Structure 1
Amino acid sequence: MRKITAGVFISLDGVVEAPDQWHFPYFSDEMGAAVDATLGAADTVLFGRKTYDSFAGAWPEREAAGEEDAGFAKKLGDARKIVVSTRKLEFTWRNSEQLQGDFVEAVTALKNEPGGNIALSGSISVVRQLLAAGLLDELQLLVHPIAVRKGMRLFDEGDTAVPLRLLSSETFQTGVLNLIYAPAEPAADAGYEDAKAHLPQS
């Protein structure tokens, strides 16, 4: 079964909205390698419509310009791009299509197809749906050392907790944390009486 990995730029206070307004001062060779290891290594990319429109409005031109980011732009262009939207879309960026049918059924079928990894970049509404459906295999959080203090958070208000387990962690020289999580079973019930045994004993 194919693996789905979502990469998210996120602030210390959980903001994921408009990273173009606060993210770039922290971009480095280390972060570029981390992004390439997920997004650049995938042969299929899932998008929400807004994120797709942003990518499609920039990366084809960057590929055509032939500058230092043209290689990464070509990877994105060559990848199969599947857009999640409730309205019918038309595409000009090559290898783009719309996800058809029920979201859970369609993504489950996609995971069962032959092929390499499936990646997301941003597309928070899609990330939330994948988590809720148990279809996301890894969540890569690139945590920036800044509190943005306004904007949409990764996790919205809800009645159901989202337990995760840490697979790996790395600290970049910029102070960005590269944290990779996988879904986990809910933690066992515990209270202070259970916790106090772990406090330092006099």
Structure 2
Amino acid sequence: MRKITAGLFISLDGVIEDPQDWHFPYFNEEMGQAVDGQLGSADTLLLGRKTYDSFAAAWPEREKAGADDADFATKLGDARKIVVSRQELHFTWRNSELLKGDLIEAVTALKKEPSTSDIAMSGSVSVVRRLLAAGLLDELHLLVHPIAVYKGMRLFEDADTPLPLKLLSSTTFATGVVHLVYRLDDDAPTGDYNSAKANLPQSDD
């Protein structure tokens, strides 16, 4: 079954909105490799409409310009791009299509398609939340920036129950950005203060 990965730029206080306003000073070669590894290596992109619109407004022109980011722009252009939207859309960026039917049913079927490549997401937080809740998101790649933004949409909304995650890897970049990769934790630890206090330093007396 195909794996779905989601990558997000996120501030230390959990904000994921408008990263173009605060994350560029931290974008170095390490982050570029991380983004290319998660997003640029996939043959299928699953994107919310707002994220798709921002990509489609920028990357085709960057590909044509032939500058330093043209190779990455070509990778995005060549990938199959599936857009989650309730509206009918007119696509001008090649290899773009609208997700048909119910999100959960359609993504479940997409994961079962024969392919050795991941399905990658970028941004698209409302879709990420729904796929996490449905247990369909395999990896959550968070690029945590050492900055508090103070305002804007955060990754996680208020909910009645917690969402346990398991840390798969952690890499610290020279800029102070930490690349964290999580998956849902089906075997999350349990306990209370009585079990935790045994791990406090004990007196020798």
Structure 1 equivalent of residue 80 of structure 2: 80
Alpha-carbon distance between aligned partners in 2 of 1:188 and 1:22, rounded to the nearest angstrom: 35
Query: SS at 2:142's partner residue?
Result: strand
Residue 11 of structure 1 pairs with residue 36 of structure 2: no
1:52 Cα offset (Å) = 0.3
* Structure-2 separation of matches of 1:154 and 1:104: 20
Deviation of 1:189 (Å): 3.6
Aligned to 2:26: 26
How do 1:183-202 and structure 2 match up within 5 A?
A: 183-185=184-186, 187-202=188-203
Task: Please identify runs of 4+ aligned residues in structure 1 that moved more than 4 A.
Answer: none
| CA distance in structure 1 between the aligned counterparts of 2:190 and 2:40, rounded to whole angstroms | 40
Deviation at 1:188, TM superposition (A): 4.3
Report the CA distance between 1:160 and its aligned residue: 2.4
Distance 2:29 2:147 in 1: 19
> What percent of counterpart residues are identical?
71
Q: Secondary structure at the match of 2:63?
A: helix
What number of residue pairs does the alignment pair up? 202
Deviation at 1:38, TM superposition (A): 0.5
Cα deviation code 1:122-160 (max 9, x no counterpart): 110110011011000000000000000000000011112
Instruction: Call closer, same or farther: CA 1:166–1:184 in 2, change over 3 Å.
Output: same
Distance in structure 2 (CA, Å) of the matches to 1:7 and 1:193: 37
For residues 74-117 of structure 1, the C-alpha deviation after alignment (integer angstroms, 9 at most, x for no partner) is 00000000000111111000000000001111000000001211
Distance in 1 of aligned mates of 2:64 and 2:43: 20
Aligned pairs for 1:41-190 (under 5 A) are 41-115=41-115, 116-185=117-186, 187-190=188-191
- Whether the 8 Å contact between 2:165 and 2:188 is mirrored in structure 1 is no
CA contact (8 A) 2:13 2:149 kept: yes
Shift of 1:186: 5.6
Q: How far apart, CA to CA, are the structure 1 residues paired with 2:189 and 2:56?
A: 44
Does structure 1 retain, via aligned residues, the 8 Å contact 2:7–2:140?
Answer: yes
Rounded to whole Å, the distance in 2 between the matches of 1:192 and 1:133 is: 31
Alpha-carbon distance in structure 2 between the residues aligned to 1:62 and 1:145? 28
SS of the residue corresponding to residue 168 of structure 1 reads strand
Residue type matched to 1:7 in 2? G
Deviations 1:147-197 (A, max 9, x none): 000000000111121110000000000000000001112634421111000
Q: Distance in 2 between matches of 1:75 and 1:108?
A: 25
How far apart, in 1, do the equivalents of 2:65 and 2:189 lie? 54
Are the equivalent residues in 1 in contact too, given 2:48–2:84 (CA < 8 A)? Answer: yes
Quick one: distance in 2 between partners of 1:56 and 1:108?
25
Letter in 2 for 1:196: K
Partner secondary structure for residue 57 of structure 1: helix
Cα distance in 2 for partners of 1:146, 1:136 equals 27
What TM-score, normalized to structure 2?
A: 0.97
